[in-house]
């Protein structure tokens, strides 16, 4: 296979570069910073701007040599020097001597920086930081004396130049907010409320031809649909066709916008929208995000690319709502900061009310609205009384519409789990009809008030003030996101970014496994393993169940950790079920690829119960059963070298790949990493590195050479030396290893060819990181916020303390392939690991933290803090749904809780010398309180409810395992760029951490042999990630495969590094037809919306895909 195809295409590109362009290129290098800022994202001809040509040409030759020689195999630490044994790096002043001999980097420039959008009307980052008066109760709404005075100065009947003399048009839009699990489970809510609401909806909409209803959650709609007979289904179809029943949003759930990844958000939209298309023949056009606790700036990008015309948002900081309201900016164009073309902007409606609940939605005056909820009235309201009520309501509606530049009002009518009882339908409908009659019948009012849907409202707005694509020029623009959210005083909803980390991790695990299962199934279909199609039916059912359990958990009371404990347990069972389903598909397809359908293949790692951490299955050998074939699948569509840690009962092994090469391995004691005791298992840890091709399945052999004794000579085996601070009285015994005492006065330094990490011996905490460019203080600490007021939603710390109890036990394990420091104290085990592989693995420290909050005491919020000498000017960066990076500023005026932001994949800070990145493998809150500090919240154990609805303390007794990567970069990142992005190295480190290889092996020895299955013809461009490759639907007859490619914005300042692994972001096209070896069967592909519903354009399979940096692209192909 053409493993390093991108270099050939670079060469081809260079040949095509005309001489004038070369000259321009050189100028571009000189004017690099200016050029970076001004390069238009419209310019797709990125190839012509390849610059620094001589360097590139030289690089290309060196790279070719480098890769052809496979220097990853020539790593001195992997190779067996003459005479046997491994050598450790020779140290001089704590750093490897090779560093001084290495060539320093030189910059190479790539042309991928998108051009900044022009300054918006409102920059949310500034508003979040500058609106610091936290003295009001947000629940009182935004209407104040100043607004009231302004309102009374203007004519009662609005007649602006935009709207002309048109009547006030009011659409009353009945809705029910239905959480798929919160205080009760999804099934309980369905039987007690949601099914009744939808049953009554059908009955009453058929009865009352002017009544309307909207519905958002496809999960519930699907459950209800399955209870309907053919006649009722037909009636529902007629209602959607007539427009009186509108499906809005239409994801499987209404996803949380802080903790979900782009993959999980889009996956549940794909599933929800494809289901709606299949069953109702409709695709939603309007977003309806009324309950998520703050709003992400990636959502407008996603929804615009789902072909939504509008977004509806609700919960934002009360100060920002008031500010936007006062400036008549409750409808705006929500833009991406990085897009100067506005092609990704979307019309956004911000609800003017504090909340969507019944006490808020009729208008802006507190407590008036209870009079307009007729759900439980026991007697008929007299007409005379209603007349007064109608006049008050009309005044409220006029006040509300004064916040908008037009004369159309959206009046949503509902609350949580409403419209379930038949009497509610009758009472609400009849009384609102009476109100409408009273208001509409008086010509002096000049009002048309009627039932409607979101579509009715937006159509009227666009008719009066411009189309969604070309709205009135007066429409303000907004950039940034609505985090953090506060609803009153200093009550910041920043705790839920971390609440219930056990399940946040489980969700990410299901994402990984579902993604792998879907890729493996598509590959199996391509290999024509099931020519008749019937073979795959079971797989498709499994994938659909897994998709449902992942989708359900993205709900804004599930992944947020804000449901009741018993509902969280139910989500856990459902996630576990999803994992089992995905695993079944993975195992089945590994069997297919290995032609081993009768061989029992098991997972190397699995969760025995929904409440336990993943446990590893050891390799047990016995006579007649001395060899196992181990299967390793690379879920990334790029080549990589990965590390494999297996458990084995013996250290005497021969590990060989399909080419017969022996693989060197390191033997070390296996820490029991599912509790916080710091004890060791009765088996050994076997660690080795393996190169894996894109999406490849590699079958290697692990053979036991006999008894567990060191006397057997094995050239490829190395062992681990151990030093420990265990007190002499209870000197630690680790079976098979001699343990030396760790000198408490001597700093511990762990090194590889890239960096040196120094640790304090008394508690094993990192102190400094050193690369060849110098040393930085990076002090790792475990701290705990103390609080008597924090809860599942809110973070309300009163102070910060050290972790107790002491003392720590520290052990240092050192070997040629990796070294690590293990430290444990009651309730916490911390492991920091460094690899010696001469690949990307060496460029970050692996950090594992095993914690049990119950053991740390009550009302604690545990954080891992890094205190550094990086002068970051009180700014740091967090990712948004793994899609883009957002700059954050630390405020010393706002409370500590306001300095916390959601992150799902990374957080970093930098100065002119270094950038320190924390790579995450699940959602966390990431914050900073002082200059030079960045911290990640690990877990929370809280004894009280915080008054936001769940009505319970947050006490999860589970052991939690957190995996982070800590990367210090001293070059390759842009100092002056207004948009900060990860470097290509950081991008690879992050993808590798989030996409470990899937490992399975034979349960018993069989006649299987080693092999390499390499389905990919050429690597994707270095900056493109295969976000999804999946069946578009799970219908056996559907032959469409959907692809989502993500080309994140990567930092263009990537230098030429000594290992020559240079990536020039944004320079290469994607060749869908050249990606997979079996792709010659595809004739064409469609570019589609992100839900694969609407085809934008059809292309021949050989047409390259030009995906711009910062973008996701969606494509479908048809299998033969
Ligand atoms: Zn909700």
CA-based Rg of the chain, rounded to a whole angstrom?
30
Alpha-carbon distances of 877 from 846, 872, 924, rounded to whole Å: 20, 10, 14
Q: Which of 192-201, 685-694, 1058-1067 has the lowest mean pLDDT?
A: 1058-1067
Checking if the pLDDT of 709 tops 50, the result is yes
What are the strands, taking DSSP E only, across 165-319?
168-177, 213-215, 245-247, 310-313
Confidence of residue 726 (pLDDT cuts 50, 70, 90): confident
C-alpha angle 557-560-561 in degrees, rounded to nearest 5:
85
- 177 alpha carbon – ligand 1 mean position (Å): 6
- Exposed / middle / buried, residue 16 (Cβ in 10 Å: 0-12, 13-18, 19+): exposed
CA of 186 to the centre of ligand 1 (A): 12
How many independent structural domains does the chain possess? 2
Task: Using the mean position of ligand 1's atoms as its centre, give its distance from the Cα of residue 557 in Å.
Answer: 7
873: left (phi over 0), alpha (psi -120 to 50) or beta: left
Please give the backbone phi and psi of residue 734, each rounded to the nearest 5 degrees, phi first. Answer: -115, 110
Span from the CA of 896 to the centroid of ligand 1 (angstroms): 26
Task: Based on the fold, state whether residues 945 and 1020 are members of the same structural domain.
Answer: no
In sequence order, the 6+-apart residues with CB closer than 8 A to the CB of 145 are none
For the chain, how many residues are written? Answer: 1120
Out of 180-184, 266-270, 683-687, 1062-1066, least confident range: 1062-1066
What is the 136 CA–ligand 1 centroid distance (Å)?
Answer: 24
**Per-residue model confidence as pLDDT tens digits over 505-515:** 999 999 999 99
Give residue 416 CA to ligand 1 midpoint distance, Å: 7
CATH of the domain at 1036: 2.60.40.1360
Report d(CA 522, CA 536) in Å as an integer: 10
- How wide is the angle at C-alpha 380 spanned by C-alphas 376 and 386, nearest 5°? 100
CA of 20 to the centre of ligand 1 (A): 59
Higher pLDDT, 418 or 1051: 418
Return the structure tokens found at 1034.
């799970």
For residue 689, tell me if it sits in a domain.
Answer: no
More confident site: 1093 or 1083 = 1093
In a domain, 906, yes or no: yes
Q: Where among 934, 949, 970 does a domain terminate?
A: 970
- For the beta carbon of residue 311, count every other beta carbon within 10 angstroms: 22
4 contacts: CB under 8 Å, gap ≥ 6? 63, 64, 67, 639, 1019
Judged by average pLDDT, the poorest of 111-115, 722-726, 819-823 is: 111-115
Q: How far apart are CA 203 and CA 324, in angstroms?
A: 40
Q: Percentages helix, strand, coil for the chain, rounded to the nearest 5?
A: 30, 30, 45
Measure 1083 CA to ligand 1 centroid, in angstroms: 45
Give the whole-angstrom CA distance, residue 308 versus residue 286.
5
HSE-up of 421 (CA within 13 Å, CB side)? 8
982 is a domain residue: no
Q: How far is the CA of 321 from the centre of ligand 1 (A)?
A: 20
Categorise residue 806: left if φ over 0, alpha if ψ from -120 to 50, beta otherwise.
beta
Same domain, 964 and 1025: no
Cα 222 to middle of ligand 1, angstroms = 18
pLDDT at 925 over 50: yes
Distance CA 86, CA 102 (A): 22
pLDDT one-digit tens code per residue, 28-45: 334 333 333 333 333 333
Same domain, 1023 and 960: no
How many angstroms separate the CA atoms of 248 and 458, rounded?
A: 12
The answer to whether residues 816 and 893 belong to one domain is yes
Give the tokens for residue 531. 């020519």
Ligand 1 centroid from CA 160, angstroms = 37
Q: How far is the CA of 556 from the centre of ligand 1 (A)?
A: 6
- Average pLDDT on 708-724 reads 85
Ligand 1: distance of its center to the CA of 68 in Å?
55
Q: Is a pLDDT exceeding 60 seen at residue 877? A: yes
Give the distance (Å) from ligand 1 centre to CA of residue 417: 10
Ligand 1 centroid, distance to 860 Cα (angstroms): 27
> Quick one: pLDDT at residue 342?
81
Dist. CA 288 → ligand 1 center (Å): 11
Structure tokens at 15: 């040949």
- Ligand 1 centroid to 178 CA: how many Å? 7
How would you classify residue 898: left for phi > 0, otherwise alpha for psi between -120 and 50, otherwise beta?
Answer: alpha
Distance CA(431)–CA(415), nearest Å, equals 17
Q: Is residue 959 part of a domain?
A: yes
Q: How confident is the model at residue 292 (pLDDT cuts 50, 70, 90)?
A: very high
pLDDT band at 532 (very low <50, low <70, confident <90, very high): low
Candidates 862, 851, 878, 845; CA nearest to 259 is 878
- Whether 573 shows a pLDDT value over 80: the answer reads yes
**pLDDT at residue number 1113:** 98
Whether 908 and 920 have beta carbons less than 8 Å apart is answered as no
Of 502, 541, 521, 494, give the one whose Cα is nearest residue 258.
494
Ligand 1 centroid – CA 242 distance (Å) = 28
Q: Are residues 937 and 1081 in the same domain?
A: no
Q: Are residues 1036 and 946 in the same domain?
A: no
Question: Which structure tokens are listed for 368?
Answer: 């008036």
Q: Is the dihedral of CA 931, 937, 941, 947 positive or negative?
A: positive
- The rounded Å distance from CA 393 to ligand 1 centre is 27
Q: What is the pLDDT of residue 28?
A: 37
Task: Measure the CA dihedral 1104/1108/1114/1117, to 10°.
Answer: 0
Between CA 79 and CA 85, with CA 83 as vertex, the angle to 5 degrees is 50
Q: State the distance from the centre of ligand 1 to the C-alpha of 948, rounded, in angstroms.
A: 12
Instruction: Let me know if residue 1092 belongs to a domain.
Output: yes
- State the distance from the centre of ligand 1 to the C-alpha of 362, rounded, in angstroms: 20
What is the mean pLDDT of the segment spanning 580-600?
95
Q: What is the 3-state secondary structure (H, E, C) of 678-699?
A: CCEEEEEEEEEEEEECCCCEEE
Judging by DSSP bridges, how do beta strands 331-335 and 477-479 pair with one another?
parallel
999-1051 per-position pLDDT tens digit: 999 999 999 999 999 999 988 998 999 999 999 999 999 999 999 999 998 88
| 731 backbone dihedrals φ, ψ, rounded to 5° | -55, 130
Residues 799, 782: Cα–Cα separation, whole Å: 14
- Under the banding of pLDDT at 50, 70 and 90, the label for residue 113 is low
The CATH number that applies at residue 927 is 2.70.98.30
Task: Provide the CB-side half-sphere exposure for 708 (13 A, CA).
Answer: 14
- In this structure, of 292-306, 438-452, 464-478, 699-713, the range with the lowest mean pLDDT score is 464-478
Is pLDDT of 604 > 90?
Answer: yes
**What's the whole-number mean pLDDT along residues 1095-1118?**
95
For range 232-240, the mean pLDDT = 98
Q: Is 736's pLDDT higher than 70?
A: yes
Pairing of strands 665-671, 627-633: unpaired
Closest CA to 622 of 600, 591, 650: 650
* Measured distance CA(183)–CA(1044) in Å, rounded: 35
**CA distance between the termini of the chain:** 23
Distances in whole angstroms, Cα of residue 532 to Cα of each of 27, 536, 1037:
59, 9, 10
What pLDDT band is residue 977 in, cutting at 50, 70 and 90?
confident
23: pLDDT strictly greater than 90: no
Residue 656 class from Cβ within 10 Å (0-12 exposed, 13-18 middle, 19+ buried)?
middle
Between the CA of 504 and the centroid of ligand 1 the distance, in Å, is 18
How do residues 315-361 score in pLDDT, each as one tens digit? 999 999 999 999 999 999 999 999 988 889 999 999 999 999 988 99
CB 33 within 8 A of CB 66: no
Kindly state whether residues 961 and 1040 are assigned to the same domain: no
Say how many Å lie between the CA of residue 124 and the centre of ligand 1.
24
Count other Cβ atoms within 10 Å, centred on residue 937.
24
Domain boundary residue, one of 916, 936, 970: 970
pLDDT for res 772:
85
- Residue 298: pLDDT over 50: yes
In a domain, 541, yes or no: no
Asked if residue 991 has a cis previous peptide bond (ω within 30° of 0), the answer is no
Which one-letter DSSP state was computed for residue 114? P
* Residue whose token pair is 């005026």: 893
Residue-level pLDDT at 912 = 93
pLDDT at 82: 33
- The token pair at 842 is 């060496």
Task: Say how far apart CA 115 and CA 40 lie, in whole Å.
Answer: 5
Query: What is the predicted pLDDT for the residue at 384?
Result: 85
Partner residues linked to 876 by β-bridges: 888
User: For position 1035, what pLDDT does the model report?
Assistant: 96
pLDDT at 13 over 70: no
Kindly state the tokens that stand for 471: 């709205």
Distance from residue 394's CA to the centre of ligand 1 (Å): 29
Regarding whether 1046 and 912 lie in a shared domain, the answer is no
pLDDT at 487: 96
CB count, 10 Å around CB of 367? 9
Domain co-membership, 954 together with 1082: no
**Which residues fall within 8 angstroms of residue 685, CB to CB, at 6 or more apart?**
645, 646, 647, 667, 668, 669, 670, 671
**Two tokens, residue 819:** 């070294």
d(CA 1021, CA 1023): 6
User: Percent of the chain, pLDDT > 90?
Assistant: 73
50-85 residue pLDDT tens: 223 233 333 444 434 333 333 323 333 333 333 333
Q: Is it the case that residue 21 has pLDDT exceeding 70? A: no
20 assigned to some structural domain:
no
Residue range 400-414, pLDDT digits in tens = 999 998 999 999 999
Q: How far is the CA of 176 from the centre of ligand 1 (A)?
A: 10
Ligand 1 centroid – CA 563 distance (Å): 10
Beta bridge partners of 701: 629, 656
The Å distance, Cα 297 to ligand 1 centre, comes to 20
Instruction: Output the CA angle 804-809-810, nearest 5 degrees.
Output: 120
The Cβ of residue 226 has, within 10 Å, a number of other Cβ atoms equal to: 8
Q: Is 109 contained in some domain?
A: no
For the record, the structure tokens of 96 come out as 């490897």
Q: What is the pLDDT of residue 156?
A: 55
* Dihedral of alpha carbons 983, 984, 989, 990, sign: positive
Say whether both 1076 and 929 belong to one domain.
no
* Cα distances (Å, whole numbers) of residue 875 to 351, 374, 871, 887, 1058: 31, 50, 9, 7, 31
Phi, psi (rounded to 5 degrees) for 22: -60, -45
In this prediction, residues 826-837 reach a mean pLDDT of 96
Do 925 and 1035 lie in a common domain?
A: no
Report CA(1108)–ligand 1 centroid distance (Å): 35
Q: How far is the CA of 1 from the centre of ligand 1 (A)?
A: 50
Residue 155 half-sphere exposure toward CB, CA atoms < 13 A: 9
The mean pLDDT of the chain is 87
Structure confidence at residue 185 (pLDDT): 98
Is residue 924 located within the same domain as residue 857?
yes
What domain range includes position 1072?
Answer: 1015-1118
In this prediction, residue 1053 has a pLDDT band, given cuts at 50, 70 and 90, of confident
Question: Does residue 160 have a pLDDT over 50?
Answer: no
């Amino acid at each position: 296979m053409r493993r390093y195809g991108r270099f050939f295409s670079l060469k081809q590109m260079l040949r095509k570069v005309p001489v004038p362009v070369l000259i321009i290129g050189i100028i571009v290098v000189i004017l690099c910073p200016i050029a970076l800022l001004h390069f238009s994202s419209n310019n797709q001809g990125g190839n012509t701007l390849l610059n620094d040509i001589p360097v590139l040409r030289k690089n290309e030759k060196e790279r070719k040599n480098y890769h052809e020689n496979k220097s990853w195999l020539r790593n001195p630490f992997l190779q067996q020097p003459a005479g046997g044994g491994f050598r450790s790096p020779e140290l001089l002043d704590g750093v490897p001597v090779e560093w001084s001999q290495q060539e320093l980097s030189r910059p190479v420039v790539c042309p991928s920086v998108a051009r900044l959008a022009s300054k918006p009307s409102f920059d949310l980052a500034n508003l979040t930081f500058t609106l610091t008066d936290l003295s009001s109760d947000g629940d009182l709404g935004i209407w104040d004396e100043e607004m009231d005075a302004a309102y009374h100065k203007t004519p009662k009947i609005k007649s602006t130049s935009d709207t002309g003399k048109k009547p006030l048009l009011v659409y009353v839009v009945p809705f029910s907010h239905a959480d798929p699990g919160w205080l009760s489970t999804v099934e309980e809510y369905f039987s007690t409320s949601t099914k009744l609401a939808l049953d009554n909806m059908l009955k009453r909409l058929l009865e009352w031809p002017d009544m309307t209803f909207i519905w958002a959650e496809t999960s519930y709609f699907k459950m209800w649909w399955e209870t309907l007979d053919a006649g009722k289904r037909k009636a529902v179809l007629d209602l959607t066709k007539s427009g009186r029943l509108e499906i809005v949003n239409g994801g499987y759930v209404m996803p949380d916008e802080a903790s979900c990844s782009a993959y999980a958000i889009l996956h549940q939209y794909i599933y929800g929208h494809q289901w709606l298309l299949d069953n109702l023949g409709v695709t939603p056009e309007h977003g309806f995000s009324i309950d998520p606790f703050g709003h992400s700036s990636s959502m407008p990008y996603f929804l615009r690319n789902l072909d939504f015309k509008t977004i509806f948002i609700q919960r934002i900081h009360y100060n920002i709502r008031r500010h936007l309201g006062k400036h008549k900016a409750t409808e705006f164009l929500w833009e991406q900061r990085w897009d100067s073309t506005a092609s990704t902007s979307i019309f956004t409606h911000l609800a003017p009310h504090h909340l969507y609940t019944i006490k808020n939605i009729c208008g802006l005056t507190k407590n008036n609205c209870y009079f307009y909820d007729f759900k439980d009235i026991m007697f008929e309201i007299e007409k005379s009384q209603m007349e007064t009520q109608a006049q008050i309501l009309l005044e409220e509606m006029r006040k509300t519409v004064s916040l908008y530049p037009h004369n159309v009002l959206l009046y949503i009518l509902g609350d949580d789990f409403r419209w379930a009882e038949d009497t509610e339908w009758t009472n609400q409908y009849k009384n609102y009809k009476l109100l409408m009659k009273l208001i509409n019948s008086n010509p002096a009012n000049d009002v048309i008030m009627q039932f409607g849907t979101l579509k009715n409202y937006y159509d009227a707005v666009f008719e009066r003030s411009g189309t969604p694509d070309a709205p009135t020029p007066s429409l303000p623009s907004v950039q940034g996101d609505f985090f953090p959210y506060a609803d009153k005083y200093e009550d910041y909803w920043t705790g839920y970014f971390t609440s219930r980390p056990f399940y946040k991790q489980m969700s990410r695990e299901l994402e990984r496994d579902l993604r792998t299962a879907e890729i493996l199934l598509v590959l199996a279909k391509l290999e024509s393993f099931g020519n008749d199609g019937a073979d795959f039916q079971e797989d498709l059912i499994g994938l659909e169940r897994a998709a449902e359990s992942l989708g359900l958990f993205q709900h804004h009371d599930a992944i947020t950790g804000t449901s009741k404990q018993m509902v969280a347990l139910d989500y856990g069972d459902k996630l576990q079920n999803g994992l089992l389903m995905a695993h079944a598909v993975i195992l089945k397809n590994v069997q297919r690829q290995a032609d081993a359908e009768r061989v029992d293949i098991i997972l190397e790692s699995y969760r025995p119960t929904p409440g336990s951490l993943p446990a590893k299955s050891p390799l047990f050998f016995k006579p007649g059963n001395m060899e196992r074939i181990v299967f390793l699948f690379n879920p990334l569509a790029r080549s990589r070298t990965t590390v494999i840690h297996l458990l084995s009962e013996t250290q005497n092994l021969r590990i060989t790949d399909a080419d017969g090469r022996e693989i060197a391995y390191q033997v070390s004691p296996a820490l029991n990493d599912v509790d916080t005791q710091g004890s060791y298992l009765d088996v050994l840890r076997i660690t080795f590195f393996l190169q894996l091709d894109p999406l490849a399945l590699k079958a290697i052999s692990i053979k036991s050479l006999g008894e567990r004794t060191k006397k057997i000579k094995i050239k490829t085996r190395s062992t681990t030396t151990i030093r420990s601070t265990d007190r002499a009285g209870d000197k630690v015994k680790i079976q098979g290893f001699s343990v030396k005492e760790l000198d408490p006065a001597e700093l511990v330094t762990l090194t590889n060819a890239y960096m040196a990490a120094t640790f304090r011996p008394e508690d094993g905490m990192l102190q400094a990181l050193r690369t060849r460019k110098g040393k930085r203080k990076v002090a790792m600490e475990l701290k705990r916020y103390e609080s008597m007021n924090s809860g599942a939603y809110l973070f309300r710390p009163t102070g910060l303390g050290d972790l107790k109890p002491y003392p720590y036990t520290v052990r240092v394990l050192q070997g040629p392939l990796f070294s690590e420091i293990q430290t444990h104290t009651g309730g916490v085990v911390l492991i920091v690991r460094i690899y010696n592989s001469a690949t990307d693995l060496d460029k970050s420290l692996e950090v594992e933290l095993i914690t049990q909050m119950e053991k740390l005491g009550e009302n604690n919020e545990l954080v891992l803090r890094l205190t550094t000498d990086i002068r970051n000017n009180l700014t740091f960066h967090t990712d948004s749904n793994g899609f883009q990076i957002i700059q954050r500023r630390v405020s010393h005026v706002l409370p500590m809780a306001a300095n916390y932001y959601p992150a799902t994949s990374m957080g970093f800070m930098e100065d002119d010398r270094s950038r320190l990145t924390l790579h995450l493998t699940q959602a966390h809150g990431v914050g900073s309180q002082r200059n030079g500090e960045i911290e990640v919240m690990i877990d929370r154990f809280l004894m009280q409810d915080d008054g936001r609805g769940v009505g319970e303390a947050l006490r999860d007794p589970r052991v939690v395992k957190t995996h982070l990567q800590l990367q210090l970069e001293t070059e390759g990142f842009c100092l002056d760029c207004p948009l900060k992005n990860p470097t290509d190295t950081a991008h690879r480190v992050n993808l590798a951490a989030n996409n470990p290889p899937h490992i399975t092996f034979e349960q018993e020895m069989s006649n299987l042999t080693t092999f390499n299955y390499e389905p990919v013809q050429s690597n994707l461009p270095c900056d493109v990630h295969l976000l999804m490759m999946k069946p578009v639907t799970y219908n056996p007859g559907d032959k469409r495969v959907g692809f989502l490619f993500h080309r994140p914005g990567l930092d263009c300042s990537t230098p030429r590094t000594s290992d020559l692994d240079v990536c020039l972001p944004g320079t290469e096209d994607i060749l869908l037809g050249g990606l997979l070896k079996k792709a010659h069967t595809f004739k064409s592909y469609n570019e589609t919306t992100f839900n694969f519903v609407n085809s934008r354009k059809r292309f021949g399979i050989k047409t390259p895909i030009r995906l711009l940096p910062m973008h996701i692209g969606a494509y479908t192909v048809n299998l033969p």
